Each structure stands twice: as structure tokens, then as C-alpha cells.
Structure 1
Amino acid sequence: MGVVSTLLAPGSLQDREVGDAFGEAMAALAHFDFVVVFAYRQAERPIDLYSTFGVEDYQVFVRLYQKGPYLLDPFYHAARNGLSGAVRMSDLAPDRFFSSEYFRTYYSQTRLAEEIGFFVRLEEDTTVVLSLMRRTSSRIFSPREWRQLKMAEPLVDALVRRHWGSLATRFVDQDGHGRRQPSSVPARVEGVWGRLNLTAREAAIVDLVLQGHSSEAVGRRLGITTGTVKVHRRNVYRKLSISSQTQLLSLYLKSM
């Protein structure tokens, strides 16, 4: 009860205090190796509100992630689509996520067995995601742990609304002269593909492919045949003078 009282008590708590209290409360329900809390708003670079990473892991999970890989993250897309509640990464991941170039070049560096995120949708198109992570050595969460974490959804929702209810002013960075600057990425996803001279349909297809969707899954999402998806993919590769998804991802990230 002491932790719960701290989480929901009136008054102002710093990000670190809120994150520590959240982690302590969740530790009573399940074992995990890391906690990280991100705030997402549209295509802007996510804000890291709290984490328990050491220096090396922080570079991978936060700094590298914020440079562009977040745009292909299933959690990022779920946040943009307004998801609420607790969800497993495996339930959100596209059908080819674990064999995708994004997974091979970025996500595999995390060496995670599983990740569970609590999604809390706020005003101003902002979603706070509180993630509990387990390394491969810890294996996945047990069914009992998952049930207990799901039951904690109301508590986590109340916590976020109480302490992180308004984050609009946080989506800005200070430049060297103290002026406030938007923290959005240099170009939104649509702008990247536009500069590479892709059509809207081609951009939609390659974006889904990079996220880890198969041609069949892309076709179902866009209402076109698998054959049409493959034709568009070949046209994109020819237009960009590339021959693999590895080159496509590299070109995408460089264009960011």
C-alpha cells in the first residue's frame, strides 16, 4: 500500500521518483530486467522520461533508438494509433518482424526475450508507454505474471495521468542560445520517401515492409494483391538503384 499511496498521492514528483515507484510496484507482480518510459507524440522524436539502463544499454535502448529506429518500432506505431492498456511486443509485432532488417540491424542489439508496455493515451495526441523488459537469459513473462500485470492497468493509468498528464511543453529542445526548438525529426516519414521520389503507394508499401510486414500482410492492410505489392517493391528497388532490404533500410536511415 505504501508504493500505491506514493504513486497516487497529491503533490509534484520528479520523473525519477515516479519511475522508481512504478518499478517497485511492478516488481511485486513480475520479474523484469529493465524499465523504460517513453512519451510519443505523432512523428516527433520520443521523449525518454525514465529508464533503469546502465551507460552502454542506454546508448542502444534510448540514444540510438531516438535517432530513427523508433519510426519502425511496433510500440511507436501502436502509440500513434491510440492503443491503451498493457500489451506484449509479440502481440504487436508484424508477421515478419523477427526476420526483418529492422530486427536484424537494431532490435537484436537489445537482446530482449520479451517486452510488455503499458500504453496510456493522453490529450494532445500524446501517449506514454511504460515498458518492462526481460533479457533472453530471463526468458518470457509467465502466464501468471502477465495476468497480474494486466490487472495493474488502472493503477498505471492513474499514475501517468496524475504525474505526466500534460507533456506538450516537453516536446521541445533547447538550442545553444536558449531558444525553444521543436524536437521533431528533421523530416517525417512521408518527407523521407518524398525526397527519394517515391509515390504515396510505394512509400506506404516500403514503410510496412521495413516494419516487418510480409508482402501478403502488406496486401491485406492496403487492400491490394500480393502480386501488386511485389511489383511495387521491384519498382522501388529499381528507382532507388538498390537490390536488398538491407540497402533500403540504410538509405532510409541516412535520409533521416
Structure 2
Amino acid sequence: MSTDLEALFGAFNATIGCPKMTDAEFGETFRQMMAALVCFDYVVVFAYRGKERPIDLYSTFDPEENVVFVTLYQAGPYLLDPFYHTARERREGVLRMRELAPDRFFSSEYYRTYYVQTGLAEEVGFFINTDEEITVVLSLMRREKTGPFPAAEFATLKKVEPLVASMVRHYWAGLAPRFDAQLTAGSKSRRKQGQSGNLPAADTVWRDLNLTGRETAIVDLVLQGHSSESIGLKLNISTGTVKVHRRNVYRKLGISSQTQLLSIYFNNLLSSG
């Protein structure tokens, strides 16, 4: 598509002389800027810090779509999301989902049971590290009927990334207190339920299931969409050893499929959250 200069300049004009903007105001400015440059269907912006539940800063979903893309995602699926793991690695730039996903992601149970509900053909994210170990990810999404981003449009996004990064670091600085408040609220909730109050829910999922540390690492990678070969490379063990650990996990949990493994994962995550 051709650049809509009038719309682009209009979006810039909203920031002139404006030292602060609300989440909605800056999110809408970002949306307008991107709409002047490329075609997309949705925008969603999350802030990530460690293993904590991501904070939603802005989105363009209707209420029904918001349940899938935001509410359900924050309840647990984010822990298996390639964007989440990329944010935890503190990588920066404009990155495509398909370039970040593990080798078996698109055939994983997570993809089949959750991600397909989004109906997306492609997702591209601006990964921007701000202060205090926080990464803000601004995602542009295209539905299946729209198709993936053409190479020329993706190149345009790469060119505009330094400007977007500067604006994000200005308007979305100082997010740490929001994470601190969320963590405090979660800890109070877990203490009321008689659970450990000082650990993120992500760290307690497998705690009571008699899995070793190595087994826990392996099943986490399985659910993220890594093959046994990929897991072996990441953990520096043989593919055969990975398969032995996977069989032991299934035996301990009394299951026979990745579908059952994912169900246990999400049930335990929700009960510990």
C-alpha cells in the first residue's frame, strides 16, 4: 500500500507538546501511525516483566475477540507464547511470529487448542525494552483472509522501528509500579488460599506433581512446541534422553497424550494463579 502522509502527519501532530499520554491515547496514536504505513486487522500491546502476568496496555478488539486475545491469554497461554519467551530474552526489533516459533509450534497442542482460535495469518511485533527489566511488545495482526505481511510492508516496519522505540520509552516509561501492584494482589490471593504467596503462578504449576527439575524443563519446552531434537539442543542432552524423560513424565502423571499434558498444565496454572 502507499503511505498515507496526511494520516501519518496527523498522528505525529497528536504528540507535539504532549509530555504524557494515557495508554489509550498513545495506543491510538501508534495505531494511526501504522495504519498510514501498512495494512493490518488488529493491534494489541502487552508489557512483560519476567514470568509475571503480562499487562495489557492497548488493543483494538471487540468484546468477544478480547476474551480470546487478552483475557484468556493472560490467564495462562502467554507462558507458551513465542512472543512472551522472546520478551523474556530481552530481544529487540521488529520480529515475525513464524520466525520466533519453535520447530513444532504450528503442530503443537497449544497451537491447536488456543492459537487457532485467533484466526490469524500472521503476527508481527515491535519488541522494545524499557526500564526496569520490562519489555513492551506492540503487535500488528493480520487475519487469514488478509494474509501475511508483504515483504515491502515488513521492510517499512523495520525502518520505522527506531521512532516507535523512542516514543514507547517516553510514553510507556515507569510501568514497574503496575507490575508491583499486580504481583502484590496475586500474592495476597494465593495466601488466602493457603498457597505460597511469594512465587509467580508460573513457578508453581508442576510443584506438587513429583516432577524433577529436568522433567519440568522438558515438559515446558514440549508444550511450547519444541521437538525432542530441539529440546536436546537447548538442554545439551541427547534426543534419546529427552524421550526417556517424556515417557517418565507421562507415566508419573498417568497420561498418554500432549492434550492431557496441556490440560493438566492449564488446570494447575489456574488453581495456583
Tell me which residue corresponds to 1:168.
176
Count, aligned residues: 252
Asked if residue 39 in structure 1 is aligned to residue 52 in structure 2, the reply is no
Matched residues in 2 for 1:234 and 1:103: separation?
A: 22
Q: CA RMSD in A?
A: 1.9
Change (3 A) 1:165 1:184: farther
Q: 1:215 aligns with which of 228, 232, 236?
A: 228
Confirm or deny: 8 A CA contact 1:41 1:126 kept in the other structure.
yes
Tell me which residue corresponds to 1:121.
129
TM norm structure 2: 0.88
Q: 1:72 aligns with which of 74, 80, 87?
A: 80
Asked if residue 238 in structure 1 is aligned to residue 231 in structure 2, the reply is no
Letter in 1 for 2:212: T
Asked if residue 100 in structure 1 is aligned to residue 119 in structure 2, the reply is no
SS in 2 for 1:252: helix
Matched residues in 2 for 1:8 and 1:165: separation?
A: 18
Change (3 A) 1:184 1:161: farther
Q: 2:154 aligns with which of 141, 146, 160?
A: 146
Confirm or deny: 8 A CA contact 1:8 1:159 kept in the other structure.
no
Residue range with higher mean Cα deviation, 180-189 or 244-253: 180-189
Confirm or deny: 8 A CA contact 1:43 1:184 kept in the other structure.
no
Tell me which residue corresponds to 1:181.
185
Residue range with higher mean Cα deviation, 230-239 or 182-191: 182-191
Deviations 1:195-216 (A, max 9, x none): 2221111011110000000001
Per the TM alignment, residue 9 of structure 1 is displaced from its structure 2 partner at its CA by: 4.3
Q: 2:140 aligns with which of 109, 132, 139?
A: 132
Q: Give unpaired runs (5+ residues) of structure 1.
A: 175-179
Change (3 A) 1:62 1:146: same
Confirm or deny: 8 A CA contact 1:37 1:130 kept in the other structure.
yes
Percent of paired sites with the same residue: 60
Deviations 1:30-52 (A, max 9, x none): 10000000011111111110000
Q: 2:12 aligns with which of 1, 4, 11?
A: 4
Deviations 1:84-116 (A, max 9, x none): 111000000000000000001100000000000
Letter in 2 for 1:139: G
Per the TM alignment, residue 7 of structure 1 is displaced from its structure 2 partner at its CA by: 3.9
Per the TM alignment, residue 189 of structure 1 is displaced from its structure 2 partner at its CA by: 2.9
Change (3 A) 1:88 1:130: same
Per the TM alignment, residue 166 of structure 1 is displaced from its structure 2 partner at its CA by: 1.0
Per the TM alignment, residue 172 of structure 1 is displaced from its structure 2 partner at its CA by: 4.8
Deviations 1:58-90 (A, max 9, x none): 000000000000000000000011011110000
Matched residues in 1 for 2:28 and 2:157: separation?
A: 17
Letter in 2 for 1:232: H
Matched residues in 1 for 2:114 and 2:248: separation?
A: 26
